[in-house]
Amino acid sequence: MLRFRWLPLVLGPILATFLSVAPAEGSVLEGLELEELVAEADRIVLGRVLLSESFLRSDGQIWTWHRIGVEGAIRGTAPAEDEVIVETMGGQIGEIGMRVEGEATFQVGERVLVFVHGGGAYKAFRTVGMGQGVMRIRQENGVETVRQSREGLMLVRRDAEGRLKRSFGAVPGPQRLDAFLSKVRKIAAQQEAGR
């Protein structure tokens, strides 16, 4: 029995170290600044999520198409039917589900501002930077605000010495929708003029 008295002394600090580590937040991505989100987006669309429909691909993965009714286009043009289709990894078909941490998510009926790329004839768009490319619009004290979607994401950037530091993304906190749209339009116009 005396031989194992040292065991708690050795295992105690080891267990304390493992238990004190913060839980993972999901996917780790480079946090994009607003200028980068705008630059990487082929289209920036303000709209309402009309429908979400999951499907099983031939490789066994579940993906979801989200139909977004266009209220306004900040960059790019909306198709003739005034909708865009945004494709995301994950979804649910019956009792089978697949979730990808950090991937963009949508709720039917919610208003969003989406930064998307790709797409084209018979192809769905993808959000820029996974969930970073989705801004949720909410009413707060009678004012429309926008918040960046960062569920399941840990955003990082490199500092001047090349070390990874936590990033708060393009929109660190809620902003008034009207002011935010003006800022995005200004950045888009500056980028278009510089091309």
Summarize pLDDT for 92-117 with one digit per residue, the tens.
999 999 989 999 999 999 999 999 99
Share of the chain above pLDDT 70, in %: 83
SS3 at position 87? strand
Q: What is the mean pLDDT of residues 83-96?
A: 94
pLDDT of residue 186: 96
Q: What is the per-residue pLDDT for 152?
A: 84
pLDDT classification of 19: cutoffs 50, 70, 90: very low
For the chain, domains (ranges, CATH) are: 24-193 (2.40.50.120)
Q: Which two tokens stand for residue 2?
A: 């005396």
Q: Percentage of the chain with pLDDT > 90?
A: 62
State pLDDT tens for residues 121-165.
668 999 999 999 999 999 999 999 999 988 888 888 999 999 999
pLDDT score of 54 more than 90: yes
* Sequence letter at residue 107: Q
Q: DSSP string covering the chain, please?
A: -GGGTHHHHHHHHHHHHHHHSPPP-SEEEEPPPHHHHHHH-SEEEEEEEEEEEEEE-TTS-EEEEEEEEEEEEEES---TTSEEEEEEE-EEETTEEE--TT-----TT-EEEEEEEEEETTEEEEETTGGGGEEEEEEETTEEEEEE--TTEEEEEE-TTS-EEE---S-SS-EEHHHHHHHHHHHHHHHHHT-
Residue 62: both structure tokens together = 């579940």
Predicted pLDDT at 126: 95
pLDDT interval class at 190 (50, 70, 90): very high
Rounded CA separation 113/71 (Å)? 10
The mean predicted confidence, pLDDT, of the chain is 86
Contact assessment for residue 131 and residue 153, using Cβ atoms and an 8 Å cutoff: yes
pLDDT of 10 above 70: no
Cβ neighbours of residue 173 closer than 8 Å, sequence gap 6 or more: 147
